[in-house]
């Protein structure tokens, strides 16, 4: 279904053709009834592949499997690979791996399977000139390795009529898509930068992005705040789409603010294009009709979708996702065609617009969003959608063979996010809770699991133990537990107790991660046990996500990673799995050294052993700065404990200085209240933890923030886990301390300090508090536009 395929395929009269996979065609045309996402466990991808192989191995030598078939209907080219064909019996087989009794399968799912089988059968009849054919649905139960086969003998005319009916249902949509793709290409070719001038550095940024995408290369860009990164990357990426025949552009970000900025930039582009078109239209006709893009939030010629998490999009969090529970799941597929059509006409599908379309058609907004990911040109969402173990956008790209560009915002976050996506935990407490209330049928697998866990703990004594090898026996017991819960769910699809569900999800994640860890160099994972009191946790800790992220970069036409902090380049290349040849560019800052005073308090040590002695000097320094220039400041510390101690010292030393502090586990309203104190006329010091929620991603321009104190080097806590990480980094990269501690720490410091100067008009001050900031190797990690630090003498 790629644009390239659609445009390139010609039917001889040069009219464009639209390629569609059999599966995609049937999902579009043959789905009806309710959305039903009850937890009926599906086989994993590996189990599915293995199941297909077993079925094929049971057939004779003459059996053909994975048979490529293609058929045309009007502008449509329908392609796919049938699972198997037995030429002796003239039987076409569509194989589905599953668990449990096929009688429990919803009727609409069965109908979809039949539709696929019939389309393949029709194509087979055409290709081999058959008048009749046996069409078989083979359900393979992966647990019991048994087949249930449903067979019908069908005549060619009936199958042909079925095929034509499916194509007829799709053809209007396909023609609409072809017209949209052509219009999109025209609009993007004419796209102009929306402002009279680029900001300083922004033109170079945009040119680099355009060149990278046009030469099909990844690119790392370090660009400071204020340069207009979002618009400066989106504009060239859109411009490059027609020339490179790209199907999709994915803007991936780790934060909600990143999504908002991307939507704003697209709106700016759309409004500018509308003005241009309106002016041209007025010149031609002297009328003042509204140009087609001039409506709120519309990008030029592209359909835009914002993907948000299910818990934020769900309209009925107290209900379950199936038709008997949720009214927006009931009849979902019956109402989906109208909702989908309305959504593409809307074209601009941010959270609010998508919700409005969904509710007006009484379908679930979250699942309408998942559907629209098939049909939108620009998708804005979390990095998970491309990089995690079950990433939807990545899966769609493979399924449709799209050519896509990635814009990865605040890309420095991808190291930690990658580690988290590819990690898992066995938490004793969660499994104990599941075991307490588990039904009798799960007693044996849970007892076995518990025995293996206890044996592992007996074998490995101590508060922290790094295992030399993965605990296979425990993993096997977890796998049996997963199977047993799966079997139970086939019989009881709802009503499973939530502690049990949590443990089941954990166990499945452990299984997935253990499998992935086994496929790559073992040095990239740590398996460790931490004891806290009477409980213990086994962690499958990803140390370096590079080998798991690298294939995701390779699947994209080009990936542009940008951030204010991507230094040093080799560290991020090594961590993220980018090729050693991936260019790293630093964009000139729009800021001048004169805008920011950088002070260095080298007479203070913030090392753990020196903390007590540091409290009063830090409080004095803060009070002195505040009295010299009253206004809003942020102060960053390495931990809540340290933050509280300095806060108390400041309250004793200078009770007149207003102050407020970040608390542990703040709710969203509490966070907003913390930030709301930074008003243009406000005064005081907000205490926060470095690397926390206020350390990056917040924007306090002008007098809302005039300075920051950073009383830490940002180094991760010195503990056994981090020491193990350091040892692994040493083995892998020969630079353990910098890779495990220094580089991530300095990224946090520069991000936090970056809160002060947000525009060329801002003026401010930063106090770097620790003697280690004097070191040359640390100062090379400061942004190049900073002035040399001025050292305090007392």
CB of 329 to ligand SF4, least distance (A): 4
Q: Where are the alpha helices (DSSP H) in 190-292?
A: 202-214, 229-244, 256-285
CB of 333 to ligand SF4, least distance (A): 12
x/- site string to ligand SF4, residues 31 to 70, per CB under 6 A? ----x-----------------------------------
Handedness of CA 297, 303, 304, 308 (dihedral sign): positive
Answer yes or no whether residue 321 interacts with ligand SF4 by CB under 6 A.
Answer: yes
Q: Within a 10 A sphere around the Cβ of 286, how many other Cβ atoms? A: 7
Answer yes or no whether residue 310 interacts with ligand SF4 by CB under 6 A.
Answer: yes
b/e per residue 494-518 (b: at least 16 CB within 10 A): eebeebbeebbebbbbbbbbbebbe
Pairing status of strand 464-466 against strand 525-532: antiparallel
DSSP, collapsed to helix, strand or coil, labels residue 60 as coil
Answer yes or no whether residue 357 interacts with ligand SF4 by CB under 6 A.
Answer: no
Q: Within a 10 A sphere around the Cβ of 214, how many other Cβ atoms? A: 14
CA distance 689 to 647: 12
Nearer to ligand SF4, 112 or 328 (CB): 328
Stretch that binds ligand SF4, among 233-241, 275-283, 322-330, 626-634 (CB under 6 A): 322-330
Among the listed residues 328, 538, 578, 781, the single contact to ligand SF4 using CB under 6 A: 328
CA distance 104 to 719: 51
Backbone φ and ψ of 655, nearest 5°:
-65, -15
Answer yes or no whether residue 188 interacts with ligand SF4 by CB under 6 A.
Answer: no
Answer yes or no whether residue 372 interacts with ligand SF4 by CB under 6 A.
Answer: no
Stretch that binds ligand SF4, among 215-223, 324-332, 379-387, 745-753 (CB under 6 A): 324-332
Cis peptide before 483 (omega within 30 of 0): no
Nearer to ligand SF4, 8 or 494 (CB): 494
**Taking CB under 6 A as the criterion, which residues in 482-511 touch ligand SF4?**
none
CB of 367 to ligand SF4, least distance (A): 6
Cis peptide before 568 (omega within 30 of 0): yes
Stretch that binds ligand SF4, among 171-179, 307-315, 431-439, 639-647 (CB under 6 A): 307-315
CA distance 264 to 662: 29
Contacts of 396 (CB under 8 A, 6+ apart): 373, 374, 402
Nearer to ligand SF4, 32 or 164 (CB): 32
Nearer to ligand SF4, 69 or 321 (CB): 321
Among the listed residues 78, 273, 329, 478, the single contact to ligand SF4 using CB under 6 A: 329
Stretch that binds ligand SF4, among 5-13, 260-268, 323-331, 574-582 (CB under 6 A): 323-331
CB of 310 to ligand SF4, least distance (A): 6
Nearer to ligand SF4, 319 or 654 (CB): 319
Burial class (CB in 10 A: 0-12, 13-18, 19+), 46: exposed
Answer yes or no whether residue 227 interacts with ligand SF4 by CB under 6 A.
Answer: no
CA distance 16 to 182: 10
Answer yes or no whether residue 312 interacts with ligand SF4 by CB under 6 A.
Answer: no
CB of 669 to ligand SF4, least distance (A): 23
Give, to the nearest 10 degrees, the angle between helix 22-29 and helix 107-128: 130
Pairing status of strand 76-86 against strand 91-98: antiparallel
Among the listed residues 364, 408, 559, 725, the single contact to ligand SF4 using CB under 6 A: 364
Answer yes or no whether residue 366 interacts with ligand SF4 by CB under 6 A.
Answer: yes
CA atoms within 13 Å, Cβ hemisphere of 111: 13
Nearer to ligand SF4, 336 or 549 (CB): 336
Burial class (CB in 10 A: 0-12, 13-18, 19+), 414: buried
Answer yes or no whether residue 674 interacts with ligand SF4 by CB under 6 A.
Answer: no
Answer yes or no whether residue 525 interacts with ligand SF4 by CB under 6 A.
Answer: no
Among the listed residues 314, 356, 359, 467, the single contact to ligand SF4 using CB under 6 A: 314
Size of site (CB under 6 A) for ligand SF4: 13
**Residues engaged in binding ligand SF4 (CB under 6 A):** 35, 310, 314-316, 319, 321, 326, 328-329, 364, 366-367
């Amino acid at each position: 279904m790629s644009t390239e395929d659609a445009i390139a395929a010609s039917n001889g009269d040069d009219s464009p053709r639209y390629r569609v996979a059999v599966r995609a065609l049937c999902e579009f045309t043959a789905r009806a009834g309710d959305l039903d996402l009850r937890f009926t466990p599906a086989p994993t991808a590996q189990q599915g592949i293995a199941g297909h192989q077993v079925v094929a191995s049971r057939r004779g030598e003459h059996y053909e499997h994975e048979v490529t078939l293609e058929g045309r209907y009007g502008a449509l080219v329908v392609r796919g690979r049938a699972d198997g064909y037995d030429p002796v019996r003239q039987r076409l087989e569509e194989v589905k791996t599953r668990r449990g009794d096929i009688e429990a399968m919803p009727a609409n799912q069965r109908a979809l399977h039949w539709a696929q089988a019939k389309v393949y059968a029709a194509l087979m009849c055409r290709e081999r000139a058959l008048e009749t054919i046996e069409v078989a649905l083979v359900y393979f139960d992966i647990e019991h390795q048994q087949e249930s086969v449903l067979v019908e003998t069908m005549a060619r005319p009936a199958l042909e009529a079925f095929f034509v009916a499916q194509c007829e249902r799709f053809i209007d949509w396909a023609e609409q898509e072809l017209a949209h793709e052509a219009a999109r290409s025209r609009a993007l070719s004419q796209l102009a930068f929306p402002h009279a001038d680029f900001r300083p550095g922004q033109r170079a940024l945009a040119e680099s992005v355009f060149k990278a995408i046009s030469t099909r290369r990844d690119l790392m860009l370090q660009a400071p705040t204020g340069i207009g990164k979002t618009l400066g990357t989106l504009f060239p990426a859109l411009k490059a789409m027609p020339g490179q025949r790209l199907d999709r552009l994915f803007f991936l970000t780790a934060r909600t603010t990143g999504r908002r900025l991307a939507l704003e930039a697209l709106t700016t582009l759309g409004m500018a294009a509308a003005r241009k078109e309106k002016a041209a239209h007025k010149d031609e006709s002297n009328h003042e009709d509204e140009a087609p893009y001039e409506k709120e939030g519309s990008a030029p010629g592209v359909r835009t979708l914002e993907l948000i998490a299910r818990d934020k999009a769900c309209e009925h969090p107290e209900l379950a996702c199936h038709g008997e529970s949720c009214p927006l799941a009931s009849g979902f597929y019956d109402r989906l065609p109208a909702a989908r059509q309305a959504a593409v006409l809307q074209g601009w599908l941010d959270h609010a617009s998508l919700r409005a379309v969904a509710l007006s058609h009484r379908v679930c907004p979250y699942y309408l969003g998942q559907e629209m990911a098939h049909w939108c040109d620009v998708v804005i969402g979390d990095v998970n959608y491309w990089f995690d173990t079950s990433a939807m956008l990545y899966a769609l790209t493979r399924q449709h063979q799209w050519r896509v560009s990635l814009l990865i915002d605040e890309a420095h976050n991808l190291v930690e996010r990658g580690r988290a996506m590819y990690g898992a935990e066995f938490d004793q407490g969660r499994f104990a809770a599941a075991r307490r209330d588990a039904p009798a049928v799960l007693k044996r697998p849970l007892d076995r699991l518990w025995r293996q866990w206890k044996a592992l703990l007996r074998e490995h004594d101590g508060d922290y133990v790094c295992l030399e090898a993965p605990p296979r026996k425990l993993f096997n017991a977890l796998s049996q537990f997963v199977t047993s819960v799966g079997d139970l769910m086939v019989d009881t699809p709802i009503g499973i107790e939530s502690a049990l569900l949590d443990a089941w999800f954990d166990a499945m994640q452990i299984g997935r991660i253990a499998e992935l860890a086994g496929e790559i160099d073992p040095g990239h994972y740590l398996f460790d046990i931490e004891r806290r009191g009477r409980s213990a946790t086994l962690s499958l800790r990803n140390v370096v996500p590079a080998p798991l992220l690298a294939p995701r970069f390779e699947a994209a036409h080009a990936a542009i990673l940008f951030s204010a902090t991507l230094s040093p380049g080799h560290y991020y290349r090594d961590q993220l799995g980018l090729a050693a040849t991936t260019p790293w560019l630093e964009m000139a800052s729009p800021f001048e050294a004169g805008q920011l005073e950088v002070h260095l308090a080298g007479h203070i040590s913030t090392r753990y052993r020196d903390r007590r002695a540091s409290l009063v000097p830090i409080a004095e320094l803060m009070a002195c700065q505040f009295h010299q220039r009253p206004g809003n400041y942020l102060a960053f510390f390495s931990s809540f404990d340290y933050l509280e101690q300095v806060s108390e010292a400041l309250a004793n030393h200078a009770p007149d200085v207003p102050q407020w502090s970040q608390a542990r586990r703040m709710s969203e309203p509490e966070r907003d209240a913390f930030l709301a104190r930074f008003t243009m006329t406000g005064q005081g010091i907000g205490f926060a933890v470095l690397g926390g929620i206020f350390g990056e991603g917040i924007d306090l321009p002008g007098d809302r923030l005039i300075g920051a104190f950073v009383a830490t080097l940002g180094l991760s806590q010195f503990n056994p886990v981090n020491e193990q990480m350091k040892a692994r980094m040493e083995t892998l990269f020969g630079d353990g301390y910098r890779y495990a501690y220094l580089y991530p720490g300095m990224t946090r410091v520069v991000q936090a300090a970056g809160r002060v100067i947000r525009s060329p008009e801002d003026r401010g001050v930063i106090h770097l508090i620790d003697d280690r900031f004097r070191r040359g190797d640390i100062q090379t990690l400061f942004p190049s536009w900073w002035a040399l630090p001025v050292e305090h003498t007392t």
